[in-house]
Amino acid sequence: MNHKKLIWGVILILVGILFILKTTGVLYFNWYHIIYLWPLLLVFWGISILPVKGLPKFLLSILVVVAGIFIMYKYNGEDWYEYRSPWRYYHKEYRDKEPDWDKSENEKQNLIFPYDPEIQSAVLKLDAAAGSFELKKTTTELIEVNNEGNIGKYSLTTHESDDIHIINLSMEKVSKQVFKMKHKVDIKLNENPLWEMDMNIGAASVDMDLSGFKTKNIKISGGASSVLLKTGDLYPQTTIDIDAAASSITIYVPAESGCRIQTSAVLSGRKMKDFKKTENNDYVTDNYEDSENKVFIIVDVAVSSIEVIRY
């Protein structure tokens, strides 16, 4: 038997199964964590040189595939996202009643922080695991969060620093269940303050329409599977910093706003209509220097595709 073919065959089977489970939503995980499967290469190698043939070797290979899937879940779940906010012990905390997140059925959670007209600037810091995140609507509160699913619950804490209101939204408890994981988070913000956003998101999809908000800085990091972002022209300069190994990134910017894209990433697919490439490999629109409003986009990591659309 060709040992090399056996090793690569099992590796391809493992990656294929993980891809199917992630795509169908049966299992959530972060592709970054696949690095923790490197010891399985030694196991595959060992199986290939064992002095056995036929069914025993095949069963051992299947067992390793199952173990790999289990390891991916464990690293993506309770070991990596058991987060405790550093502000918990000496800042205001807003939480709802304790649902049982280890049950298979969906649980609902609602978190609210009231709006104060004196709040001029606010920062939203989101630390989350898998799921779907949507931010499109406004609220008369400062922030309103609706969470539905069976992955875990969130805590909402706040504090002030240099007249800036900082909101920490973090996952507090992660479910131990592996399959049929569901998670959808709907975030609503008040349209009056100037907003900055710092989002550290795991294996998730992000859909944000910020055209109705004044946004200064938007940072998305982690391993988001897809990012859909729409900006507006209510603030003179918006900076978007994406440091996430996303499979796809789509950003909508106003046609009247000048836009510059800076990237050192490897882009397998680019759609940069109405952009020109500069000598330093940036992409800019013709109206960048003369426009009153500007959008500066920084992409720091590899993505399979990125599309910037002017609307």
- Give per-residue pLDDT as tens, 52-62: 666 776 677 77
Round the CA-based radius of gyration of the chain to a whole number and report it: 22
Higher per-residue confidence, 182 vs 107: 107
Enter the tokens of residue 90: 């000496």
Give the integer Cα–Cα distance in Å for 197 and 234. Answer: 16
- Distances in Å between the Cα of 209 and the Cα atoms of 136, 215, 220 are 5, 11, 14
Which of 217, 247, 245 lies closest to 231, judged by CA?
A: 217
| Average pLDDT value over all residues in the chain | 77
Give the integer Cα–Cα distance in Å for 256 and 249. Answer: 21
Give the integer Cα–Cα distance in Å for 45 and 280. Answer: 45
- How far the first Cα of the chain sits from its last, in Å, is 58
pLDDT digit string, tens, across residues 86-134: 333 333 444 444 444 445 567 889 999 999 999 999 999 998 767 788 9
Give the integer Cα–Cα distance in Å for 229 and 98. Answer: 32
Give the integer Cα–Cα distance in Å for 293 and 238. Answer: 8
Give the integer Cα–Cα distance in Å for 201 and 209. Answer: 17
Per the document, the length of the chain is 311
pLDDT(247) > 70 = no
- Summarize the confidence of residues 180-206 as an average pLDDT: 86
Q: What is the pTM of this model?
A: 0.67
